[in-house]
Structure 1
Amino acid sequence: MALPPDFTLLQVIPELETGGAEQTTIDVAHAVVAAGGKALVAARGGRMASRLEADGGRLAEMPVQSKNPLVMLGNASRLVDLIRRERVSVVHARSRAPAFSALWAAHMTKTPFVATYHGVYKAKSSLKRWYNAVMTRGDLVIANSDYTRAHILAEHQIDPERVVTIPRGVDLKRFTPSWVTSDRVDALRTGWGIAPDERRTKILLAGRLTRIKGHLTIIEAAARLKAQGRQDFLVLFAGDDQGRTGYREELNTAIAQAGLGEDVKLVGHCDDMPAAYLLCDVAILPTLVPESFGRAAVEPQAMGRPVIASDEGGTAETVVDGVTGWLVPPGDAQAWADAMGRAIDLGPGKRLEIGQAGANRARSLYSVDAMCEATLWAYERVLEARA
C-alpha cells in the first residue's frame, strides 16, 4: 500500500536482540521503507540492528530498556527531540517500560501513538495493572492473536474498537524449503555435531534458554522414552542463554543425571532457522506459560515440519491438533513423551503429510506481507482519525 507523503515511523523497543517482537519490528520497518517511508527504531542496540540498517531503517540508540524513572524521563526528552527533528508521523511502542517514555513524548508532540501487546502481561496488583495499561493509552492497540485481544479486553475494559488483531507474520520468502540449499543444512549439521548418517528422529526446540520454554519437561519426557528402551530420537535445544548461565548448567546437569548425554544436545544460538527446521523432523514448543502467538510454532509449519505444542494461548490457534501437529498439556512430561513417541512412530511419510498441511495453512494465514500490510493500514487509520 502507499503511505502518506513524508511518512516517518518511530518504533520503540528495549533492544534488537532475538525474539518475536524484535523480528516484527524489523519486518515492519522494512515494509515502511519499501512503501516509500522512513523507518526509525529507538532501542539500546543488539545483534539485529545491522539487519534494520541493511533494510534501509535507522537505529536511534538510547537506553529505552531501563525501568529507572530518571532514565525513562531522559528517554522521553530524547524521544521528543527525535520526533521533532525527524518529523515522525506515528510512534509505535512494543514494550511496556519504553512505552511510558514514548507515550509521554507522543503527547508532548501531539503525535499518534500505537502500541502492540506482544505478550499476555499478568497483573497481581492494581499497580501492576496500571503499569501494563500503558500499552492501551494510545490511539490504537494491536494484539498479536485473538487470545491476546481477549486478554486485553478482559483486563483493561477498553473500547473493543480500539483493539485490533494482527497475527504475527512469518517471512515466507525466508521460510521456504526450496530456497534452503543443502550446504546450509550440512553446515548446521556439522556445527551441531550431528553425523551425516544419523537416522534417529530429530526433535527441535527453538527458543532462548529460559525456564518458561519447558526444556526440563522435555528432558523428563526424553528420559521416559529412553526408559521404554527407545533409542530412535535426538532432541536439540537451539537457543541463547542470554546470560542465564545458571539455567544452562541446570539443563546440562539434568541431561547428565538422566543419562541422556547422547540423546539431548544444547547446540546454542542459531542464525539459520530455516535450515534448522529442515535438519529436524519434528519441532516442539513446550512452553509452561501461554504464548501470545508462538512464532516458533508457525515457522516450522511453513517449512513443512509437524509441530508439537502446549495446548494453551496463541499456539492453540496456530497448531491444529491432529492436522498440522499435536497439542499437549503444558508441563505434563508423560503426555509429552507420548506425543513425541507417536510423532516418531508415524515415520517420514506420514510426518511429511502433516507437515504439508501445516505449510499450506501457515502460508494462507501467517505471511509477513499480510502482517505488514495490516499494520500499515492501522497507521493509516490513526492518522485519518487524528485528521
Structure 2
Amino acid sequence: MESTESDKGAGLRLAAVQFVFTLGWTVYVVFLPALLARAGLPANWLPWLLIIDQAIFAIMDIAFGLMADRIGQAWQRLARAILWLSTLSALAFLALPLVSGVAPAAMLAVTLLWVVTASVVRAPTMVLLAKQARAAQQPALVAWYSGGMALAMALSPFFGLWLKGSDPLLPFAVSAAVLWLAVVALLRWQQPLPASDESALPPLPFASYRPLLAGLLLAAFGLQLHAFVNAGPLFGKLAEPARLPWLLPWLWVGFAAAMPMVGALCKRCGALRVAGGGLLAAAAMISVAPAVNWENSLMLLQLLAGFGWGLAFAGLMSFASAAGSRGAEGLFMGSFFAMTAVAAVARILVASQWLPALGDSRYTLPATCLFIAACGTLWLARRLPDRH
C-alpha cells in the first residue's frame, strides 16, 4: 500500500487499536461462561447476552457515527469524546471480573456500560481519521484497520486456549490498559491535515447506499456462519481436535494477505468491483470446502476464501468511507459496522437455536449468501459512482 511515513504512523496506530479491541473481545467471550456462573446466572443466558451485546454495538455504531458527523471538522472535540468514553470503557472492562461475584444485576449493569462505551473504538476511530484524510489516503487506512482486526482473529484460537482455566482478573486488566494506551497513542498522534485541493463532493445520497448495506449484511452473515460455526466441524472431520487452533486461523491469514493490495486495486478497478470479485472468490472456495477430504486442501481453500473476503470487506469499507466524504462519514461508516454486528446477531441465533433444523444445508448456506451478495455488489458497481 502506498502511503507516506505519516500515513503509516496513523495506520499502525489504528491497526493496534483494532487488534487489541478484537483480542479484548476474545478475553470477554472466553471468560463469560465463568463470569455468568460466578454471578449465579444460568448458562443458557450466554448466547442471549452475546446477542444483546452485538445488538447494542449495532445501535451505538450508528449513534456514535451520527455524533461524529454533528461534531463535524472539530476533530479535537471528537478526539476528547473518544478518549473519555475509552477511559470509561477500560474501567468497566476492568471491573467486570470484580463485580461478577457481587450480584447478577451489578455484572449485567457493568457489562452494559462496557458494551456501550466500547463501541467508540469501532466506527468513531475510523471516522476520526477519515474526516482528516485525503481521498487517496482512505483505502490505506481501511487496510490498516482491517489488517489489525484480521491479525487478532488469527491469534484468537491460540489466545483462547492459553487463557482457558486462568484467573480472569489479569487478562481483563491487561486488555483494558493496553487498549486504552493504544487509543491514547492514536489520538495524540492526530493533527489536522492542511486543506487539500480535491473537489468537495457532497456525500452520496444515503438511499443509494442502503442496498449495499443489505448486501454487506448478507455477506457478513454467510462468512461468519462459515468461519465461526462450520469451519471447526469441517476441519474436525480431517484432523485431531488438538490441531484446530493451528488450522482455523488460515482464513484470517488469507484475509490479512489481501490488505497490501486493496488500495491499488480499488484505484484501478473501483472499490465495488474489487468487493464483488472478492465475494465471488470467497463463495466459490466455501462452496467447495465441504467436499474436500484432505486437510491441506481445506487449508488452501480457507486461505483463498479469506483472501477473497479480505478484498470484499476492505473494498466495501473503502467505498463506504469515500461515499460518506465530506460530512457524512459517521453515518456511512457507522451503518457499515452496524451491519456486521447485526450479522453476528443472526449468526449467533442460527448457531444457538436453529442449527439442528438446518441439517447439511448449514454448509451450503454461507456460499449462497456470499454469491447473492456478490451479484448485488457487482450490479451496484455499474450504477453507483466510485470516488477512488
Please give the range of the TM-score, normalised by the shorter of the 2 chains.
Answer: under 0.3
- When normalised by structure 2's length, the TM-score is 0.27
Normalized against structure 1, the TM-score is what? 0.27
Determine which structure has more spread, i.e. the larger CA radius of gyration. 1
More helix by proportion, 1 or 2? 2
Q: Comparing both structures, which one devotes a greater share of its residues to strand?
A: 1
